[in-house]
Amino acid sequence: MASGTGPSTGDATLRRRIEPWQFEAYFDPRQLRKEACMLSEVRWGASPRTWRESSLNTTSHVEINFIEKFTSGRSLRPAVRCSMTWFLSWSPCWECARAIREFLHQHPNVSLVIYVARLYWHVDEQNRQGLRDLVTSGVRVQIMSDSEYRHCWRNFVNFPPGQEAGWPRFPPMWTTLYALELSCILLSLPPCLKISRRRQYRLIVFQLILQTCHYRAIPPQVLSAAELMHPLVAWC
């Protein structure tokens, strides 16, 4: 694709691209939206080709839909190494985490990296355990940072002409908050991030509540980034 232009109308990738407003709305780490969006990449063996798809949740969660479609597809090649990357607006719930682990167990040729914009019901202990189990199963789980937003914008979004560099820049504070909470989950610590809705003002309040156990277990370089932040962040 030529630099400085949008995806051309003849571009075969347009079919699976989402609109800029959709990307900004679904992947905004400050919003608690009902919709869940998955942007997926699949690579086979040493082939330079990347297969990309975008999907929203239906009556089933996006992860389940992906697994069902993938396992029923004719492109399934069990003898070829397969690398997958998922960009998810919400992290997998515990039921999806279990389904993903079963899928990976049945398809040992597949490796999976998951980037998430937000943690789904992150104080729920089953969801926390689900994420730990995924990581134990070899899945890399990370919070989306600016480089993933840029990558998704260029490869999954029908950005306007001249706007190749126009991906949404969300304040890094939210990435830091969610990354810190993901650290807590993976270290089996209690939550340090509290998210509450204050309906009368239509506010979503993000609070960082650090306990002694957090200071003991979380690497100092991670904590120092969080300590620079105001402990209470509101978003409306």
Catalytic residues, by residue number, are 63
Locus of tokens 């509450």: 196
Judged by CB under 5 A, the stretch of 3-11, 86-94, 153-161, 220-228 that binds Zn ion is 86-94
Phi, psi of 52 (to 5 degrees): -120, 145
| Nearest residue to Zn ion, scored by beta-carbon proximity | 96
In terms of residues, how long is the chain? 236
Instruction: Measure the CA–CA gap between 98 and 136, rounded to whole angstroms.
Output: 12
Q: Which is nearer to Zn ion, 173 or 182 (CB)?
A: 182
Q: Which of 20, 41, 42, 61 binds Zn ion (CB under 5 A)?
A: 61
134 touches Zn ion (CB under 5 A)? no
Q: Which is nearer to Zn ion, 18 or 100 (CB)?
A: 100
Q: Which is nearer to Zn ion, 61 or 122 (CB)?
A: 61
93 touches Zn ion (CB under 5 A)? yes
Q: Which is nearer to Zn ion, 129 or 163 (CB)?
A: 129
Judged by CB under 5 A, the stretch of 96-104, 126-134, 182-190, 195-203 that binds Zn ion is 96-104
- Phi-psi category of residue 56: left, alpha or beta, with phi > 0 → left and psi -120 to 50 → alpha: beta
Spatial CA neighbour of 23 closest among 60, 51, 58, 56: 56
Judged by CB under 5 A, the stretch of 2-10, 48-56, 60-68, 127-135 that binds Zn ion is 60-68
**Torsion angle of C-alpha atoms 187, 105, 72, 95, degrees rounded to 10:** -40
Instruction: Give least dist CB 95 to Zn ion, A.
Output: 5
30 touches Zn ion (CB under 5 A)? no
Q: Which of 39, 42, 84, 96 binds Zn ion (CB under 5 A)?
A: 96
Instruction: Give least dist CB 137 to Zn ion, A.
Output: 16
Q: Using CB under 5 A as the criterion, which residues of the chain lie in contact with Zn ion when the complex forms? A: 61, 93, 96
